[in-house]
Amino acid sequence: MIAARFPFSNLDLFRGEVDRLFEDFFAAPGSMGTRQTGRMTVFPALNVWDNGDELVAEAELPGLSIENLDISLMGSELTIRGKRESQNGKDTACHRQERGSGEFARTVALPYPVNSDAVDAAMKDGILTIKMPKAESAKPRKIEVKTQ
């Protein structure tokens, strides 16, 4: 069992150090440094990568289905909106409530223009994956160098 934390105990200080090491590791290059003291300041956390022909954004959204989400693209700004309802009834005793609920919205600026007609969003096991093909103008192009 993971014991309740006793404030200022040496063990706790040690744990704090270990946690911080892990966090520093995750806040490695490429991160926007949003992971602070183990809690996210923004929700949902996003991972975005460039596949060459498309940009892929991924977010962890447990308990939500694609119908609960509103994903929109304005220019090169991607917005994810949604709401997670609390499933906990009022007439029950709640011993722990760590899972958040409520509305959220997050907007990120994409580094390249994307083809908004061909965007594909899918949800599987609480993971949202948005695939955004790059606009023709943003695709890598090989330029042939002619020799005279």
Partner 1 sequence: MSTELSANQNVSVAQKNCEQTRSGCLFRPNVDIIESSEELLLRADVPGAAGKDIELDYENGVLTLHAKVEPRQTDRGRCLLREYAVGDYYRAFEINEQIEAENISAECVNGVLTIHLPKARSAKPRRITVTNSH
Do 104 and 44 touch, CB atoms closer than 8 A? yes
Do 134 and 56 touch, CB atoms closer than 8 A? no
Output phi, psi for 55, to 5 deg.
Answer: -100, 140
Position 139 contacts partner 1 (CB under 8 A) = no
d(CA 81, CA 60): 13
Nearer to partner 1 (CB atom), residue 104 or residue 115:
104
Token output for 146: 């002619």
Nearer to partner 1 (CB atom), residue 98 or residue 144:
98
Nearer to partner 1 (CB atom), residue 10 or residue 148:
10
Position 12 contacts partner 1 (CB under 8 A) = no
Within 23-82, the residues that bind partner 1 by CB under 8 A are: 23, 26, 28, 30-32, 34-35, 38-40, 42-52, 55-56, 58, 60-65
